[in-house]
A and B are shown apart, each in its own frame.
Chain A
Amino acid sequence: MINGLLNGVRRLGHRVVDMLWRMGVSTRFFLLLLLHSGQCFRRFHLIIREVFSTGVLSLIIILVSGLFVGMVLGLQGYETLQTYGSEEALGILVALSLVRELGPVVAALLFASRAGSAITAEIGLMKATEQLAAMEMMAVNPIARVVAPRFWGGVISMPLLAALFSAMGILGGWLVGVVLIGVDEGSFWSQMRAAVDFKEDILNGVIKSFVFGVAVTTIALFEGYDAPPTAEGVSRATTRTVVTSSLAILGLDFILTAFMFSGV
């Protein structure tokens, strides 16, 4: 009885120590990555290639889901606002919810599952096939050559993808609200413009998506770099990337929202 209890406590302690250890290692990994970033800016085409594979290849999923999220917002918002006789506020509802929350968060979640998992699998496989070790043998630093360009590629792509998501969503809301249902076009745009502030809403959304970009790519890179060099290890690391970065996005979103929109 007591032994079982002790074992339970021991397992808990082991988990906590393991988690703290991983946090420490990932922080060191992040600092190392920043330290070696200078070299990859001198060879900018490495970053451009990563912007292509994380940003351009994620374009279609981001644009299509942005459009549909906006269209759903338009429909649902109209249904609710109609009961209060204020359909014209549909523009405000669609724009504010997209620019402040849905744009950065949903785009980051899609980015984590579309690009983050790919990064982890790629680096994990590079490690499993000993390509990283081979690089070190040739006196090429794998962090400077492989990790840092992927990091900056993701950090550059993320805010642009989030902005595209929001813009497409607003177009989707306009499509459903104005073109399909027939909300007055003038008041749709003018009320939106009166309510959305550039600094308060749009700039804070961009800052959010930048933070999410840093978090998602760092988690993806670390999980890949840390993966056990087996098929099972890589698959587990890929799963962990998606789970951890999704949780990190939602947690960070709450913290950032609390700071940005506390309404002092």
Chain B
Amino acid sequence: MQRATLDLWVGFFVAVGLAALLFLALKVGNMGAFDSAKTYEVKASFENIGGLKARAPVKSAGVLVGRVGDISFDTETYEASVTLKLDARYPFPRDSSASIMTSGLLGEQYVALEAGGDEKMLANGERLKLTQGAVVLENLIGQFLYNKAEGEGKAENSPQ
């Protein structure tokens, strides 16, 4: 085969291959979507984070406003310390509250941010005061059974 046509085909092949890589990076992966945007970090302590993982979404009113950065265990308070990386486009009041929710019945866990009423906005590195940990299903069932047993006991003891 002629060298020129060979070069043409190989050039075409390499260009298409690189285009496929670019497609994977930009359209399929999250490169350029959120990670490159400017972020500020806020810390929050939770009693129990359940199945929350790093890179889980942080949502406010259902809109993605950031991602969970780092999760560590604080040995002084014996609570989970979670770093939230929030998009710099969305400032939140200082008395905002964070809670861990589950999307759907079997879905992944995410952090829901609810805006407060303070006039001052959260700065980089600040700590959220109001938090609510994940709901543990076993505790919920235990409480339900306990309440039910208590209710039945009352019904039996009450005079006819």
The answer to whether A and B belong to the same complex is yes
Residues of A within 8 A of B (CB): 45, 48-49, 51-52, 55-56, 59, 84, 86, 95, 99, 156-157, 159-161, 163-164, 166-168, 170, 189, 192-194, 196-198, 201-202, 206
Q: Let me know if A163 and B20 touch, CB within 8 A.
A: yes
CB distance from A86 to the nearest CB of B (A): 7
A95 to B14, CA, bound (A): 22
Residues of B close to A55: CB separation below 8 A: 10, 13, 17
A95 to B29, CA, bound (A): 9
A163 to B18, CA, bound (A): 8
Residues of A close to B64: CB separation below 8 A: 194
Of the listed stretches B1-9, B69-77, B119-127, B152-160, chain A binds B1-9
Residues of A close to B14: CB separation below 8 A: 51, 156, 160
Return 11 A-B CB contacts under 8 Å, by A number: A95-B28, A99-B29, A160-B20, A164-B17, A170-B28, A193-B33, A196-B29, A197-B30, A198-B29, A202-B21, A202-B29
Residues of A close to B29: CB separation below 8 A: 99, 193, 196-198, 201-202
* Of A49, A86, A160, A189, most B-chain CB atoms within 10 Å: A160
Q: Let me know if A164 and B20 touch, CB within 8 A.
A: yes
Tell me the nearest residue of chain B to A95, going by C-beta: B28
Q: Let me know if A160 and B13 touch, CB within 8 A.
A: yes
Residues of B within 8 A of A (CB): 1, 3, 6-7, 9-10, 12-14, 16-18, 20-21, 23-25, 27-31, 33, 35, 55, 57, 64, 104, 106-107
Give the secondary structure class of B's interface: helix
A59 to B14, CA, bound (A): 11
A163 to B16, CA, bound (A): 10
Give the secondary structure class of A's interface: helix
A198 to B33, CA, bound (A): 11
* Of A161, A192, A202, most B-chain CB atoms within 10 Å: A202
A55 to B13, CA, bound (A): 7
Tell me the nearest residue of chain B to A170, going by C-beta: B28
Which are the 6 A-B pairs with shortest beta-carbon distances?
A: A160-B17, A167-B20, A198-B31, A198-B29, A163-B20, A163-B21
A159 to B24, CA, bound (A): 13
A189 to B23, CA, bound (A): 12
A84 to B104, CA, bound (A): 11
A86 to B105, CA, bound (A): 10
A58 to B57, CA, bound (A): 40
A56 to B104, CA, bound (A): 46
Residues of A close to B57: CB separation below 8 A: 194
Q: Let me know if B30 and A196 touch, CB within 8 A.
A: yes
Contact of A48 among B10, B21, B35 (CB under 8 A): B10
Q: Let me know if B10 and A167 touch, CB within 8 A.
A: no
A182 to B9, CA, bound (A): 37
In the complex with contacts A51-B10, A197-B30, A198-B29, A99-B104 CB distance below 8 A: no
Residues of B close to A193: CB separation below 8 A: 27-30, 33
Q: Let me know if B10 and A202 touch, CB within 8 A.
A: no
Residues of A close to B30: CB separation below 8 A: 193-194, 196-198
Q: A86-B104, A202-B25 given. 13 additional CB < 8 A pairs?
A: A48-B10, A52-B10, A55-B10, A55-B17, A84-B106, A99-B28, A160-B13, A160-B14, A163-B20, A166-B24, A167-B28, A194-B64, A196-B29
A228 to B21, CA, bound (A): 41
* Of A45, A156, A193, A206, most B-chain CB atoms within 10 Å: A193
Tell me the nearest residue of chain B to A196, going by C-beta: B29
A146 to B16, CA, bound (A): 27
